[in-house]
Structure 1
């Protein structure tokens, strides 16, 4: 077969079938590749099962459906949307970008999208692996996995059993999203060499909820040895990960909203009804001054035994190379444009602070106020949320890794978005187009509007190349970047990415010291 442009499409023979991809931007791309059986009907809320394969040659030029999620035509005022149709619960596919489907044994980057556990897709143009494949000579895999109620509901004894359970599964397992991701990593181990990748040189990277996934995989017994490096971008490690007893009331509320009695009846509902009910759970679980998270991972004792923030400190996971970072104003993403928070009074913010700091909330408010002259109450609130949900837990992981003598590289993204008169500042997600160096794929996002192209291009080059270096060597340093030392105590070297990028000492020191008084 020859395309209209006279090109021969790339073809790969896998153990489960043959794939025909496409040439895009100078790299070979294979889209909509199934890595697990469709999680529909009786497999809904069951652990992922490897795909049985297909006969003949499968067309791999079109993305598979994204996982079902809430969708608003026209998108949101920050990202302009984070998931687009088509949606379907038959969504367990992945995309591969490779310089060539040969035997070159290149490093592999596996990308896990974020989205607050309720939105996103690995096949979004934002997350195209084309730039990494072309500029870094690496193979990139981006996955779709179950999110929202289909991935994160937990049913306890009623549920689908443990991940090991291709038969007598243990009672009480959950985290179906995690079984999807483990199955995808096994697919990478078994197949990536046919795409020119090295299964022994895999880096898993994720942002936000995807970073939580990445850390959870590091501690999963069935994922041991499947990757050697992780990149954790803005992990919300400050989230409380509930126990089964803490999660089941949330499941009961969801069942009530759905109008069914148990998981059996829930399996009979079409997925649009499930997503509609998810909106009701949002309403029941939202709290003023907190990032909304109606669906969460669960420490079920089968697929997850400890908080993901702790996994990289124990066992074989302690030997994994780690890069971790955060944006300076993470919480501005969710709160800077919200009138209900923007008009908050000082007393209201102090009351919210008191929920984290029962003693001395007014003093904590004053401490935050001193770091930001002219701060409004909402600015203090956003700094508090950024610290307790993102920055401080990330620093604590870096501190703990450093104390163990394990490799960890830390960064802080400080570049300020000019959008909305600067109100978003260095918000959650802003580093993503710089990391992927693909601003042409982000033109729909208000977040990136008005950025000076010269500054944008220089910073994107520095970050993109640092990520490539880390994927290839486990060290983010490269000739176009200031020397980036490992995070160690007491130096606490952290790379500050901004219009002028530099390695600095302990940029999160104020937050780190302030939050040491909070019991964890």
Structure 2
């Protein structure tokens, strides 16, 4: 059944029950829609389970709680915060925005938030789908899923710590094989699969076309998007993917590598096994997670206390490779990065600002054992007057983001599969310009609604005319890609697919232009390192 369209309170009839939403900014919004059973009690650290439904009319006018995470009043100096109360482990809900809950069969955009696997929410005002729905005639869905210890712990076959010591609990960066175990993990991914299946099965009730779904995500959410593309249960559930700043250079551990980290977390929580964790309130779980940051941190590496695990069941290969295999190879892909990704996590840290050449050379030598001086010199040449911290920022940005993104684009192009590449070049003047074109900075431009990002310090001082023009270029490119699989639109310079030898990449800046191979230095350096 289609919706009963009231002026301000549209009602949608679903198999699980009726939903009453609200009209916001000229579009219908339905919030806190359950797509899986609450993962509480005995369902903690279990794959997502079906939701039983409800009786009567369910109010869908207010956001559901975000997944439990650490929270600091006043936020942070870059984003101004990436998650805010209320939090609860009963969090498996999604939000839907639609121009009208009719039978128009509009293209669908599903948004998966990032946050280093430990923060963020599909309920954040920043990620409202209202502008996309209104400006692009799209149906937009944002998803809440389990993060941090509730989503990313792995327990092995017996549900215990799997190790006698935490000596291996480190943020290692070496690559490993794809061996796995029979016991599933990646509860976050089971949530996202359940949400994607729910969208495919129900989005027609909201005016969407289940055969024209695009999944998009940023940072950790882009890793999720890639992982979904390769999941057997997601085959055929979406046809396009947008990967914004995916940290595809992360090492994704095997079960044997991950279990010592789980052991360290159990000790921090003061319990012996998963049953002990299930007895704890979620605030205690988040408190223990903070301790794991300290135990896994390494100088010159992005801190990632929780990671996906290649369990051989839900995740069979590194997400960087999923879009090259089987049905996932046929998905249309747009992929991009910001020019100075790493400044987000390091540039405002006085310890890193004071880094010496010797410290940075030691860090470079971990990736380039025989060429540290040569690589340091290359980064100095790329940026005139570079300080040691600038060289380090270039290395981390390339190693974690730009080089593996380009490697994926190169591989898809060699297979003759469609891929479009972009680089976000616009430097923010905020915070004395120390962030430049940092990680996450493209997000408000993509979502096209700066009023919802007014709390974010990294937008301070941007010329309103530049903000409007660049926001229009990016917002419309995303809409075009969701609608057609091609990001070109009349107000954008011609954007060709990525392919050798041109390697066309759209550079989004105050003046946006297509360029040939702007990531060439990273591509050549890190290709040699990976051989």
TM class by shorter chain equals over 0.9
SS in 2 for 1:499: coil
Match of 2:138 in 1: 138
Counterpart contact for 1:324–1:411, Cα < 8 Å: yes
Distance 1:504 1:64 in 2: 43
Structure 1 spans left out of the alignment, 5+ residues: 1-5, 161-169
Counterpart CA distance in 1 for 2:242 and 2:143 is 16
Partner SS, residue 530 of structure 2: coil
Q: How many residues align?
A: 506
Give the alignment's TM-score, normalised by structure 2.
0.94
Superposition deviation, residue 54 in structure 1 = 0.2
Where structure 2 has 5 or more consecutive residues not aligned to the other structure, the ranges are: 1-5, 161-180
> Aligned partners of 1:8, 1:70: CA distance in 2, in Å?
35
Match of 2:241 in 1: 230
Q: Does the 8 A contact of 1:45 with 1:159 survive in 2?
A: no
Name 2:347's counterpart in structure 1: 336
Alignment partner, residue 119 of structure 2: 119
Equivalent residues in 2 for 1:183-202, closer than 5 Å: 183-202=194-213
Measure, in 1, the Cα distance between the counterparts of 2:99 and 2:49. Answer: 29
What SS does structure 2 have at the residue aligned with 1:94? strand
Aligned to 1:158, the other structure's residue is in SS state coil
Which residue of 2 is the match for residue 458 of structure 1? Answer: 469
Q: Where does residue 175 of structure 1 map in the other structure? A: 186
- Matched residue, 2:426: 415
Cα distance between partner residues in 1 of 2:393 and 2:515: 23
Tell me the distance in 2 between the aligned counterparts of 1:61 and 1:249: 43
Identify the residue that residue 259 of structure 2 maps to in structure 1: 248
The offset of 1:511, in angstroms, is 1.1
Decide whether the 8 Å contact of 2:269 with 2:284 is kept in 1.
Answer: yes
Q: How far apart, CA to CA, are the structure 1 residues paired with 2:138 and 2:238?
A: 15
Contact 1:159–1:174, Cα closer than 8 Å, also in 2: no
Does 2:521 align with 1:516? no
Aligned-partner Cα distance in 2 for 1:442–1:519: 38
SS in 2 for 1:45: coil
1:352 aligns to what? 363
Deviation at 1:7, TM superposition (A): 3.3
What secondary structure is seen at the aligned counterpart in 2 of 1:518?
helix
Between the aligned partners of 2:19 and 2:246, the Cα distance in structure 1 is 35
Q: Describe the superposition over 1:419-439 as per-residue Cα deviations: whole angstroms up to 9, x where unpaired.
A: 111100000000000000111
- Aligned partners of 1:150 and 1:8: how far apart in 2? 37
RMSD across aligned C-alpha pairs, in angstroms? 1.0
In 1, the alpha carbon distance for the partners of 2:510 and 2:182 equals 52
For 2:173, the equivalent position in structure 1 comes to none
Shift of the alpha carbon at 1:159? 4.2
Conserved in 2, the CA contact under 8 Å of 1:159 and 1:171?
no
Q: Deviations over 1:146-179 (max 9, x none)?
A: 000000000011349xxxxxxxxx9511000000
Report the Cα distance in structure 2 between the residues aligned to 1:217 and 1:115, rounded to whole angstroms: 17
Give 1:8 shift. Answer: 3.7
- Which residue is equivalent to 1:204? 215
Q: CA deviation at 1:519?
A: 2.4
| Aligned pair partner of 2:515 in 504, 507, 510 | 504
Q: State whether structure 2 residue 504 is matched by structure 1 residue 493.
A: yes
- Asked if structure 1 preserves the Cα contact closer than 8 Å seen for 2:159 and 2:273, the reply is no
CA contact 2:182–2:311 (8 Å) conserved in 1: no
Secondary structure at 2:497 match in 1: coil
Cα distance between partner residues in 1 of 2:481 and 2:143: 20
> 8 Å contact 2:505–2:517 — kept in the other structure?
yes
Residues in 1 aligned to 2:405 and 2:521: alpha-carbon distance in whole angstroms: 14
Given the alignment of the two structures, is residue 304 of structure 1 paired with residue 315 of structure 2, yes or no? yes
Matched, 1:39 2:39: yes
